Amino acid sequence: MKREFWRHFDYWLFGSVILLCIFGIAMIRSAIAGNDTLASLVERQAIYVAVGLLVIFGASMVDYHYWESLTRTMYIAAVFFLVVIFVYGKARYGSARWLDTGLVLIQPSELAKIVMILVLASYFSKHQDQPHNLRWVGESFALTLGVVVWILLQPNLSTSIVIFVMWFAMLWVSGLPVKYLLIFGGGLIVASAVLFPLLAGYQQQRIMDFIFPQPNAQAGNTYNVDQALVTIGSGGLFGEGYGHSTQVQLRFLKVRHTDFIFSAMAAEFGFVGTIIVTGMLIFVVLRCLRAARLAADTFGSLIAYGFATLIFFQMAVNIGVNLNVIPVTGLTLPFISYGGSSLLSLVLGIGLVESVISRHKSLEF
């Protein structure tokens, strides 16, 4: 059994993720160079990556079917910790998303993404023979909303959107009738109009700044997006070199080790460098989709498909924000941006995908 496991283990997926994580550490080091306050982040990210290796191997060696029996428990636990965050969470940047343990800050909403992939994969696989009607849609939506509502209250709109996108993607691949697309389209328009006045002030401001940008802004989201565009443009085709970007090193670009690390990467490695890194991220998505196609059952296929959706959407949104084609969201670039909770949730997902592919029926390269 162990020989079969390692024979089917996706080393291409694992190797790509490790390379992205190592590159992320290097980019964080360059992005915060000279900032003594943030100097410890490089070492902390390296520790997160090391722990992440153990998480990948640990999760991949556990049969993914085991998690199906724990989905109810994990769902309740996720809601519980999100409620705790709502009541006792540590507020940062206008929202309470972090639980301060005294050693590290934990962001339960990141782990909630993985929990929802497992919960929805379990629901859709168990109900695959049920009529795909509005009741089927409504039940899965209620499961999703039960977690998302507490994330919205933090407030954390970006993560809420990510989970809803994963829900819709898994709903679609599970056999959503085309006739319901018009209903979803109309519902999305109505929900956007109704929810906008209920958004937090800074969230409304981000949307308005995107629609009506302020020229020559000296502060706020518009300023940083403008600086991101300047930073990307400064890199040209091959970049200014690692650690040599004036936009990054002179700190014109803010939050350059998290939300805007793509811009810092473009400045130092240019268009060619960003294409290579983006290509590696897409390669990770394709390997997850391969696992979904080869999975032994619907539950495993949906796990891999849900995680592929998570990686692709978060990557696309982060790059879109940096290029100023969508409003600022706060989503990080997978495996590269700084963040312990984000990284550990992502590598846990990779471990689950490895568990799926390692137990598929046929070997394929």
- State pLDDT tens for residues 74-110: 999 999 988 888 777 655 555 556 666 555 667 888 8
Q: What is the mean pLDDT of residues 188-214?
A: 73
Q: What is the pLDDT of residue 217?
A: 56
Distance CA 27, CA 67 (A): 35
**Residue given tokens 């520790």 in the structure block:** 47
DSSP 214: P
Read off the pLDDT of each residue in 301-323 and give the average, rounded to a whole number: 95
The number of angstroms, rounded, from the C-alpha of 329 to the middle of its chain's C-alpha atoms is: 12
- In whole angstroms, give the CA distance from residue 176 to residue 170: 9
The pLDDT assigned to 89 comes to: 61
131 phi, psi to nearest 5 deg: -55, 135
Q: Is 56 helix (H, G, I), strand (E, B) or coil?
A: helix
Give 7's pLDDT tier (boundaries 50, 70, 90). Answer: confident
Instruction: Could you list the beta-strand ranges (E) of 263-317.
Output: none
Please return the burial class of 73, using the count of CB atoms within 10 Å of its CB with bins 0-12, 13-18 and 19+: exposed
Least confidently predicted of 210-214, 231-235, 319-323: 210-214
pLDDT higher than threshold 80 for residue 2: no
DSSP string, 150-176: HHHTTT-HHHHHHHHHHHHHHHHHTT-
Domain ranges of the chain: 2-358
Task: Write out pLDDT tens, residues 260-286.
Answer: 999 999 999 999 999 999 999 999 999
Confidence of residue 356 (pLDDT cuts 50, 70, 90): very high
pTM for this entry:
0.89
Buried b (16+ CB within 10 A) or exposed e, 5-20: eeebbbeebbebbbeb
pLDDT tens for 45-80 read: 999 999 999 999 999 999 999 999 999 999 999 999
Q: Which whole-number Å values give the CA distances from 303 to 47, 61, 198, 267, in the listed order?
A: 27, 16, 33, 36
Residue 199 has a pLDDT of 72
Give the pLDDT band (50/70/90) at residue 289: very high
pLDDT of residue 191: 77
Residue 227's nearest CA partner among 100, 324, 330, 355 is: 324
pLDDT at position 365, please?
A: 41
CA distances (Å), origin 158, targets 149, 348, 351: 13, 20, 24
pLDDT for residue 341 is more than 90? no
Taking 50 as the threshold, does the pLDDT of residue 138 lie above it? Answer: yes
